[in-house]
Amino acid sequence: MPIKCRKCHSADAEISLPYAGLSLCPECFLDYYVKRIKRTVEKYRMFREDEPVGVAISGGKDSAALLHGLRRAFPDQEFVGLYVNLGIPEYSDHCQEKAEKLADLVDVEFHVFDLKKEEGISLNDFRRTVFKKKICSVCGTIKRHTFEELAKRAGVKVLATGHNMDDILGFMFNNFFSGQWPQLIRLKPVLPPPTPGLTRKIKPLIRTPERESLLYCLYAEVPFREMDCPYSRGTKTKERLRMLETLSQDNPNFRHQALRIFLKLSKILERDIEQPSIVPCTNCGFPSLNGTCAYCKRIAYIKKVLSKDTEEK
């Protein structure tokens, strides 16, 4: 005998959420997902009704579910889709195609930063350098900067990212055990701009397990990428996911309990840990610790490498 949905009590349940004690049909699950986004935004006061919100789209399931869910949760809010094309062969164009389809589906303005067109380089160029084993770090540096640039062009002061509960917990565990206390503060649901003129970062999916974003996209027929990043093999991200799965096997509430504890810890650390002084980058004006931001250092470095290769040829 099929189990009936715990919400509508009529349709057959297809999705089990053990931590919430719920078995839901597809329609009720989609409603549950959207309402959680709405509650999270409202609880942490992530944006006002009169603020346009930029949404960083990667082409993946999380950012796709985020933009689609935000549009359903706040139908009268202005959202703008932002995408960074890093020039990863086949993968980046595939992701951009999915991001464009998503923007069309939910009827939002769409902006693209094409790294090859704008800087004359691609993420692929770094694979031949000392950064070949730290390619994900370079990717993060580039995307943090270029999403800010896109937000500036689009005229938005709020930037929503698709970081889900599993992402946050994984980063928290890594930073906690490595003693990187200041980094824990950056994982808050709302992160104020480090300097005037930059965006306020928000994480509407911070209370959403990764698996549920995939289910949302599948049941709501939201377009998202169908291939993995070729550079992600063997990264710590997958190690963190395996660790979370192991810890959650006997305790379905583990993720939610851990998140609550870490968020309390981040508030304590914010009061007690002095943040490093920020100065404008002399090249681009973005935040830096010593006058040259990480983005400009990476761009200058790879252009020097490429120039040297050209001269040798």
Length of the chain: 313
pLDDT range class, residue 2, cuts 50, 70, 90: confident
CATH of the domain at 58: 3.40.50.620
E strand segments, 49-163: 53-57, 79-85, 109-114, 158-160
pLDDT of residue 96: 97
The number of domains in the chain is 2
- Please choose, from the candidates 62, 26, 28, the residue with its C-alpha nearest in 3D space to the C-alpha of residue 214: 62
Residue 70 lies in a domain: yes
pLDDT of residue 250: 78
Domain enclosing residue 291, as ranges: 280-313
Residue 106 lies in a domain: yes
Residue 165 CA to residue 17 CA, distance in Å, equals 15
- Do 69 and 144 belong to one domain? yes
Query: Model confidence over 71-99: pLDDT tens digits?
Result: 999 999 999 999 999 999 999 999 999 99
- Do 101 and 222 belong to one domain? yes
- Do 205 and 310 belong to one domain? no
E strand segments, 75-168: 79-85, 109-114, 158-160
- Do 180 and 118 belong to one domain? yes
pLDDT of residue 61: 97
Query: Model confidence over 22-46: pLDDT tens digits?
Result: 999 999 999 999 999 999 999 999 9
- Do 51 and 92 belong to one domain? yes
- Do 269 and 284 belong to one domain? no
**Which residues is 280 bridged to in the sheet?**
287
- Do 61 and 163 belong to one domain? yes
- Do 54 and 183 belong to one domain? yes
Residue 15 lies in a domain: no
pLDDT range class, residue 255, cuts 50, 70, 90: confident
- Do 170 and 285 belong to one domain? no
- pTM: predicted TM-score of the whole model, two decimal places: 0.91
Residue 8 lies in a domain: no
- Do 215 and 289 belong to one domain? no
Of all residues in the chain, the percent with pLDDT exceeding 70 is 95
pLDDT value at 192 more than 60: yes
Residue 6 lies in a domain: no
Q: How far is CA 12 from CA 22, 213, 215, in A?
A: 12, 21, 16
pLDDT value at 313 more than 70: no
- Do 160 and 136 belong to one domain? yes
- Do 198 and 284 belong to one domain? no
pLDDT value at 235 more than 60: no
